[in-house]
Amino acid sequence: MRQGTAHRLESAFLATDYEVEGPAGRFVVRIGEVCSSIPADQWAVVTACNPLSQLLSKLENETRMQELARAVRSAGYSFWRGENRARDQSWPPEPSLLVLEIPRQLAVALGRRFEQWAIVVGRWNQRAELVWCHDGKSTPGE
């Protein structure tokens, strides 16, 4: 990934609201902020939509999200559904999952598996972080 591409992607991720539908209602996760609405020691926001920022059809994204939900369940984790929304509406909203109690390494592996540039991770009472799923030296699959 080129430096300019990485910077543009990082800017886009930072300018996104990661909305979650929790049991007590909807709340927003933002990178760099603490979100006290998540009762988990560790968590991650992961999507399977639009791999490597290539827009797919709604049906393709729905199929990928079903696969992601199955993978999370089969690994023994629970999740809440959400939607990632660019604040400037420059990118279409993407369905996502907030996976509870998933270790960071496993969350990154899920992001890689579903061809995502990055995911959002957090720990109880700490700031949410953007974590890259690829080293940037090559495009996944090369």
The predicted model gives 95-124 an average pLDDT of 98
Is 142 inside a domain boundary?
A: no
Is 139 inside a domain boundary?
A: no
Q: Residue 5 pLDDT > 90, yes or no?
A: no
Is 90 inside a domain boundary?
A: yes
Which residue has 């930072």 as its token pair?
A: 14
The predicted model gives 85-100 an average pLDDT of 97
Residue 119: domain span: 3-132
Is the CA virtual torsion 64, 70, 76, 80 positive or negative? positive
Is 96 inside a domain boundary?
A: yes
**Number of domains the chain is built from:** 1
Q: Residue 142 pLDDT > 80, yes or no?
A: no
Q: Are residues 28 and 18 in contact, defined by beta-carbon separation less than 8 angstroms?
A: yes
Q: Residue 140 pLDDT > 90, yes or no?
A: no
**pLDDT tens-digit profile of 14-66?**
999 999 999 999 999 999 999 999 999 999 999 999 999 999 999 999 999 99
Is 137 inside a domain boundary?
A: no
Q: Which residues pair with 100 in a beta bridge?
A: 43
pLDDT of residue 134: 84
Is 56 inside a domain boundary?
A: yes
Is 111 inside a domain boundary?
A: yes
